[in-house]
Homo-oligomer: A and B are copies of this chain.
Amino acid sequence: MGIAIRPAQPGDVPEILALIKALAEYEGAPEAVKATEADLRGHGFGERPYFHTLLAELDGQVVGFALYFFTYSTWEGRPSLYIEDIFVRPAYRGRGAGRALLAACAKEALKRDCMRMEWQVLDWNQPAIDFYRRLGARHTAEWLPFRMGREAIEVLAREDK
């Protein structure tokens, strides 16, 4: 049957959470995942989901996923498709599932007339970096990603009257 890509349904949430945890483990942060099935069900489905999920199946078995949402480029005046997670279980690599997931994301991006797809990759993940470059993506090295955690957010929010 080969590789097939399909949108996730609410019934896939346990599998999605398992993939998120497998990705976190691959990224060296197995305890980082605080998300629950209830979180993903509430936030990823229904009328106004925060994210969308595509599943890659190999011979009918889920072997990977891409989780994305739409951001916005004020330079382009168009939404962008941002890939939060893309992952194929190590045992099933080399058979085109990652590329098929990215191609399906690209198709979704065109449906919304996006001018860009964006994501982040860990600096030690050279196979992924090489793969993305071969597909025509580039590291926007002049832009530094910044993050503020909950504690600092709470302190800052108190300044707002």
Contact = CB atoms under 8 A, between A and B. Distances in A.
Interface in A39-67: 39-40, 43-44, 48, 50-51, 67
Interface size range of chain A in the complex: 35 or more
A1 interface: no
A105 to B, nearest CB: 8
A101 B81 CA distance: 26
A152 B32 CA distance: 33
Nearest to A139: B144
Interface in A128-142: 129, 132, 135-142
30 contacts: A29-B75, A32-B75, A33-B77, A35-B75, A35-B77, A43-B72, A43-B78, A50-B72, A74-B85, A100-B160, A103-B156, A103-B157, A103-B158, A103-B160, A106-B157, A109-B153, A110-B154, A114-B153, A116-B153, A117-B147, A120-B146, A122-B144, A123-B144, A124-B142, A135-B148, A137-B147, A138-B146, A138-B147, A139-B145, A139-B146
Interface of A: 5, 20, 24, 29, 32-36, 39-40, 43-44, 48, 50-51, 67, 69-79, 82, 84-85, 99-100, 102-104, 106-107, 109-110, 114-124, 129, 132, 135-160
